[in-house]
Structure 1
Amino acid sequence: MGLADGQMVQTDCSVTWTDDDGKVYCFSSESSKSAFLKDPKGNIAKAKMFLEEQQAKAASGQKVFTDKDVNARVAEVIKERSDGDAFVFHDPKLDTDLKLKFEEIKIVRGMEGYGWFANVIFSDVEEPKKQYAIDFWFKPEGQQLTLQDIRVQKGPKRDGDGYFMITRLPVAWWWLPVQEHPGSIEGARAWQVMAAIHDYILENKDEDGNITVKDDKTGEDVTLQFVEMHRPVRHLKGEGKYFACTDFRKPGSKDEYYDLDFWVDEKSGELKVGNVKIHKVPVQEDGIWTQVDRYTFEGMDFEETL
């Protein structure tokens, strides 16, 4: 199903389907197989078209990246960001530096138009039983794979004397097409909206990884650190706009959180962020930081897409 969706997904062929002509098709999961079997002929045609496009790129001299290129790039990034034997990653959600040991690259996926995603397993240097699954996002630029972001997909949770990995919520947008193969256009649109927002954040961050937004109420510029993006994505009926809420934190503070709304439209012919609004601001009451609404969604005619 991955090829039909414009994705390059590794599979060990443990999940298969055999066509009437005897050809065997491999899937990364039972859910992918089920989605494929809703329209086998149509999905096979899409997969063939995608492969032909990749072959045409290679024939024209364009660099066609493979999972081997991604594996090599992951190794480079780990080496660049290591202190001695420890890969150092600043976890924005915990606001702390993790010191990790590389274990293995679990899976590599390519998404046409969005880049490559490597899911990599690490263990804590001081407590090897604590493991993390961390996503590396790369975008092809000419002959290179450029690192876009690194996010924790799964983190350790204590279980008696040991640990097991648990998926961190909210799930990153690049996992949504894999976990769910939406039958509706709006379902597919939701993760594309989230991707457009993530692109905007990366394009507008400074050298410290922060972005600056205008506070419409005070007129001040506020510098903030991106933490995570929330679901659902909402679609404003009649106007064709989408918006999603995100968490940002004031740099240097562990408790001052802002909720920013990113408004996305297609005026340019593709999904782009057209406006960023502060939805909630941190206010300290009795020594505890809480969030206060700057505005609400009351009166807005919208639907939740995912």
Structure 2
Amino acid sequence: MLSVIIMILGIVALVYGANFLVDGASSIAKRFNIPNLVIGLTIVAFGTSAPELVVNTIASIKGYSAITMGNVIGSNLINILIILGITSIIYPLAVSKTTAYVEIPLSILAALTVLIMANDTFLDGFKNVIGRGDGIILLLFFLMFLAYNFYLTLNAKEDDEMAIKNYSMGVAIIAFLGGLILLIVGGKFIVDSAVEIAKGFGVSERVISLTIVALGTSLPELATSVVAAMKKNPDLAMGNCVGSNIFNIFFILGISTLIRPIEIASGENLELIFNLFAGILLFVFVIKSKKLVRWQGIAMVLFYGIYLWDLL
């Protein structure tokens, strides 16, 4: 019970820490006259994935490979099947051409890449490990994705000013540092409690990380997408989840493997295959109509339920 309470506290610390860090960093950047588009692309985008990054960094340092992989893949499955599923049930999501033809296929490429890296024993006969060389390749993909985003932002019209907290420099620095401390403390709480909960309930760390940990670190994406759907801003909801999936694999998993190579257990192929399936399913749903409608959202949530039933 104590471990469950600690995990809840860790999740709360992660969510608030990410918000404080983004608000503080954005306010500092604005005072140095950095454009809104650049702030949105870097600081805000990083902020929604900061929980996954912190949890994975701590798990990698401590050698918990199951948590490192489970958090990323579990978050990606929740982003596509649960968050996009729920938001499209609330309000049908229109999909832009760039998202349908570039970003969703890129998320499928990310899922396929990590699946191949996790099973390269079939190619070279070695143990199934996503090593530091693989991590460098993932980070190179991330740099290309970052360059693509900069290209989009430079050619986009900035219609609305992004809401940025107008803190004084002192308050902004305190918010940034406070957010960073909350992220680190929350991440440590989550990793340590996940291990204890797994031991207490007699389940694997992999199952805990794929479900509870992944849901906790995906709360910023869930909140952003649901609010965007309620405000009838479908581009933000769709782009938030798809972009986060690309970010999670190419950047967060890339950083994690540089810290410590990830050993792949045989059972972990289930979620890797399902992660690829989820991306392909989303692509099939939106490629013709450029829209994700309610019945498709219901189907996606049901598919996640089938996956969860099989996992448990």
Bin the TM-score by the shorter chain: under 0.3
Q: Could you tell me the TM-score, scaled by structure 2's length? A: 0.26
More strand by percentage? 1
Larger C-alpha radius of gyration, 1 or 2?
1
Q: Could you tell me the TM-score, scaled by structure 1's length? A: 0.27
By relative contact order (CA 8 Å, sep 6+), the higher-ranking structure is 2
